[in-house]
Amino acid sequence: MNQLLKSPAMKLFGLLTTLLLAAQLAPANPDDFTVPSITSSNVFKLSEAKGKFVALHFLLKTECPYCLRYTQEYAEKAAGEAQVVHIFLKPDSDAEIKQWAVKLGAEATTLAIYHDADAALAKSFNIPDGYKFHGQTVHFPALVLLGKDGKEVFRYVSKSNADRFPVEKFADKLKELTRPTRG
């Protein structure tokens, strides 16, 4: 009996059972959500973006120079990508977001920064909490890419403030996801 439990088939069965249970227990991403922009009159609603990829950029609290550079790079290099809507989300107060957005420079006038009040959307997408930043514990910076049907197709959760998913790798990932399948 003991040998049977150690067999490759039983180990595989145990692994599959664990994965199945984990998938059942993991909360699903929201089917729809709405977030207001603090820097423009835009309101983003996921259900209105069907047919496009949606890149959710979960940024850290105010005074994050990496978030500024990251946002500027995406605004500059990914702006012409018509099949993707980039949503930059901050959990700060309206006033803090406005103050931070001014530091974006020229992009501040054209880029909408959205309010993720109390990081509620980050939580609903299961972005891990526990990152120590400016004396607070916040969610990790992350990128979640939703497919044209609104379902998650890719995610990258940073391990530190300087660890971000580069715009060049994003372009490669998008090519990979939109490459015609042979069949």
Quote the mean pLDDT of the chain: 83
Cα distance from N-terminal residue to C-terminal residue, the chain: 45
Per-residue confidence (pLDDT) for residue 8, from 0 to 100: 64
Choice among 11-15, 26-30, 47-51, 176-180 with the minimum mean pLDDT: 11-15
Report whether pLDDT(21) > 50. no
Report whether pLDDT(76) > 90. no
Higher pLDDT residue, 26 or 61? Answer: 61
pLDDT band at residue 180, thresholds of 50, 70 and 90? Answer: confident
Per-residue confidence (pLDDT) for residue 142, from 0 to 100: 95
Residues 125-135 have a mean pLDDT of 82
Cβ–Cβ < 8 Å for 71, 104: yes
Q: What dihedral do alpha carbons 77, 81, 84, 89 form, nearest 10°?
A: 30
The pair of three-digit structure tokens given for residue 92, joined into one six-digit string? 């700060």
Per-residue confidence (pLDDT) for residue 9, from 0 to 100: 59
Whole-model pTM: value is: 0.81
Q: What is the pLDDT of residues 79-120, one digit of tens each?
A: 778 899 999 999 999 999 999 988 888 766 678 899 999 899
Specify the CATH architecture of the domain 30-178.
3-Layer(aba) Sandwich (3.40)
Given the structure tokens 């039983």, which residue do they identify? 10
Per-residue confidence (pLDDT) for residue 15, from 0 to 100: 45
Per-residue confidence (pLDDT) for residue 97, from 0 to 100: 92
Residue-range domain boundaries for the chain: 30-178
| Cα 40 to the center of its chain, rounded Å | 21
Can you tell me the distance from the alpha carbon of 98 to that of 40, in angstroms, rounded to the nearest whole number?
A: 10
Can you tell me the distance from the alpha carbon of 145 to that of 119, in angstroms, rounded to the nearest whole number?
A: 17
Can you tell me the distance from the alpha carbon of 86 to that of 78, in angstroms, rounded to the nearest whole number?
A: 8
Q: What is the pLDDT of residues 144-170, one digit of tens each?
A: 999 999 999 999 999 888 889 999 999
Report whether pLDDT(70) > 50. yes
